[in-house]
């Protein structure tokens, strides 16, 4: 049974709010990690700025969806009022919402691409293919917003031209994330094989797992958007609206789990409770200070 547009939007806002709540908690934690890192590494300032931009854009996206709900159901005195409101996909708020999602997605793709570039020691040849797909990502994203704003009242996002552009954008962002995640994982895996220190090797294994998880989190969401959009189901709005918060979650997890030092966190928490740090943690923490990672891994870990 087909789901009504208005019902899909109600469900979408509920799901988006749930993921936004998770994101807010992780966002606060990632800021704490970045501020702590900034004391010893000023190079984290761009990441701190990017985290702030993500926070502002994702919050704006949620607020836009909330305002649209209010406007839609203010028309409930008119038969099919909410459905008529949401049917106008070229409205200002609809275009703004879509533009916000596209900007958030492109920023995340750029972040993943840059991490890949750093991990591969700034090797331009390696990231050439993902970069070309990223350019297609930007181009199709801009074309998608322009096409949406050019639709007339009553037009559907499923019309042939708009459908092709939207699928092209979604496909390109999945490819960028997939390629970069695989390249980063492969690079760290090969580095791991050359390391004699088991602690460093374990650290890289952890990074591989984190990058794979973060890449999968967003890629699965994007694939669900593509699948429901291809099926011309209004339920695609549910996955589309939650995608911005999911991107924020993936970004924050990378910062927290790679940028945060587990042994340092243990030290801080135990000192705060007036307890001495266990001997094994002191030895691990000391070894991490004495034996820094190679430059590419150090950059990747922030």
- CATH code of the domain covering residue 248: 1.20.1070
**Cα 13 to Cα 6, 237, 241, distances in angstroms:** 11, 9, 7
Q: What is the pLDDT of residue 234?
A: 84
pLDDT at residue 78, as a whole number: 56
Residue 31 has pLDDT above 90, yes or no: yes
**Which of 56-70, 121-135, 192-206, 278-292 has the least mean pLDDT?**
278-292
Mean pLDDT (whole number) for 263-279: 37
pLDDT at position 7 is 86
- Pairwise CA distance, residues 286 & 40, whole Å: 17
> Of 13 and 207, which is predicted with more confidence?
13
Residue 225 has pLDDT above 80, yes or no: yes
- Domain residues for the domain of 210 are 5-300
The rounded mean pLDDT for the chain is 78
Residue 38 and residue 52: Cα distance in Å, rounded?
14
Is it the case that residue 138 has pLDDT exceeding 60?
yes
Listed residue (297, 274, 271) closest to 208, CA to CA: 297
Note the pLDDT tens digit of each residue in 36-66: 888 777 778 889 999 999 999 999 999 999 9
Residue 176 in this model has a pLDDT that exceeds 90 = yes
Whether pLDDT at 260 is above 90: no
pLDDT score of 74: 78
Reported as a pLDDT band with limits 50, 70 and 90, residue 243 is very high
Residue 277 pLDDT > 80 = no
Whether the per-residue pLDDT at 161 is higher than 80: the answer is no
Give the pLDDT score at 80.
62
What are 75-91's pLDDT values in tens digits?
655 556 787 888 788 88
Percent of the chain with pLDDT over 90: 39
- Amino acid 6: pLDDT: 81
Tell me how many domains the chain contains: 1
Of 148-162, 163-177, 266-280, the range with the lowest mean pLDDT is 266-280
Global pTM reads 0.79
In sequence order, which residues have a C-beta less than 8 Å from that of residue 144 and are 6 or more positions away? 98, 102, 162, 165, 166, 169
Whether 223 and 246 have beta carbons less than 8 Å apart is answered as no
Contacts of 247 (CB under 8 A, 6+ apart): 54, 58, 104, 105, 108, 218
The predicted pLDDT at position 269 comes to 33
User: Highest mean pLDDT: which of 67-76, 192-201, 274-283?
Assistant: 67-76
The backbone region for 154, taken as left when phi is positive above 0, alpha when psi lies in -120 to 50, beta otherwise, is left
Q: For residue 211, what pLDDT is reported?
A: 59
């Amino acid at each position: 049974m087909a789901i009504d547009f208005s019902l899909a939007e109600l469900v979408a806002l509920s799901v988006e709010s749930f993921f936004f709540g998770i994101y807010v908690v992780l966002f606060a934690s990632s800021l704490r990690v970045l501020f702590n890192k900034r004391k010893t590494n000023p190079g984290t300032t761009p990441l701190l700025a990017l985290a702030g931009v993500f926070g502002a854009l994702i919050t704006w996206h949620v607020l836009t969806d909330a305002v649209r709900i209010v406007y839609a159901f203010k028309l409930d005195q008119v038969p099919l009022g909410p459905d008529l409101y949401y049917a106008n996909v070229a409205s200002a708020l609809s275009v703004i919402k879509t533009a916000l999602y596209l900007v958030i997605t492109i920023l995340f793709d750029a972040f993943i691409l840059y991490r890949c570039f750093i991990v591969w020691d700034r090797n331009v040849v390696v990231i050439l293919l993902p970069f070309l797909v990223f350019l297609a990502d930007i181009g199709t994203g801009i074309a998608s917003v322009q096409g949406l704003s050019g639709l007339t009242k009553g037009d559907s996002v499923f019309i042939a031209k708009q459908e092709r552009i939207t699928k092209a954008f979604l496909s390109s962002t999945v490819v960028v994330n997939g390629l970069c995640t695989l390249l980063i994982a492969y690079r760290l895996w090969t580095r791991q094989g050359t390391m004699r220190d088991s602690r460093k090797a374990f650290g890289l294994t952890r990074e591989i797992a984190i990058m794979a998880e973060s890449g999968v989190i967003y890629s699965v969401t994007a694939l669900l958007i593509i699948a429901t959009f291809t099926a011309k189901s209004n339920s695609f709005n549910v996955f589309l609206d939650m995608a911005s918060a999911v991107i924020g979650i993936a970004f924050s997890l990378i910062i927290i789990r790679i940028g945060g030092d587990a042994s340092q966190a243990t030290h801080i928490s135990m000192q705060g409770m007036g307890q001495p740090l266990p001997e094994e943690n002191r030895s691990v923490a000391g070894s991490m200070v004495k034996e820094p990672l190679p430059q590419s891994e150090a950059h990747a870990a922030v």
